[in-house]
Amino acid sequence: MSRIAGAFFRGRPVFIGFTVAGDPDMGRSFSAATAMIDAGADILEIAVPYSDPVADGPVIERAHHRALMAGIRPVDVFLLLLKIRDYAPDLPLILFTYYNIVYRRGVDRFFSEATAAGADGVLIVDLPVEESEEVVPSARRHGIERIPLIAPTTSPERQRAILQEASGFAYLISLEGVTGERDHLPSGLAGLVSAVREKTDLPIAVGFGVSRPEHVRTVLDAGADGVIVGSALVRLIEEHMDDGPGMREALRAAIVSLRDGFSSSSRT
């Protein structure tokens, strides 16, 4: 059983934390990642810094910029992954990236290096299913789960096509637009989860906009198997960049608070 499957196999909801590799530098990025792990993150999603992160809102976009300004390159991301893997040997690690990074490095080389660094899955946010014919065999050859993205506007036919070659878990985007904290999640979330559930046996995790314990409860009550929190955590890294202990404590407190949504959900 893969690490990702193992995380969802425990029979309880899964908390997935997100961070941008190298934000604001390698040392503090590693400290933030380990703080999330220590606070109870079941899976860690780590973004490869990119100059044009079109799916991301301003908070995560600034994190990409800080990492790039610190000189973080893909090779540094893999080195960071190795350190995190050494810290948490059994924790599933997901790389979140844009296709240009994969293409420029070479598809097979990228997946080979990802495996060597300890990655369990890769999510390529801007790669259409129609153009993934080179990625699918490379991911399979190197034992990397290929995480699919399903948007609220994705048609049923396209959902089936996206899910056909996917593995790990299905990442369901809760709302239209880019990443970022929201006051409320869409009222039709349960219908979205149900529609995807009909087409796949993969676990379903919901992200985009999840930033409060009540959001976590909403996601789980909608039938999802996990929640993904990004901007709310990245914002804390930004706010505490010059205070390492303060950053770790802020991340710990945030994740503990968000996980309170697990206990108040009807799923648990």
Q: Which residue has the tokens 């399979």?
A: 140
Q: Contact 12/226 with Cβ under 8 angstroms?
A: no
Nearest-angstrom CA–CA distance, 94 and 130:
22
Number of C-beta neighbours around residue 153 at 10 A: 8
**Measured over all CA atoms, what is the biggest interatomic distance in the chain, rounded to whole angstroms?**
48
Q: Which residues, in sequence order, are bridge partners of residue 97?
A: 124
Give the pairing of strands 43-47 and 121-124.
unpaired
Angle at 37 between CA 36 and CA 42, to 5 degrees: 105
Active site residues: 45, 56
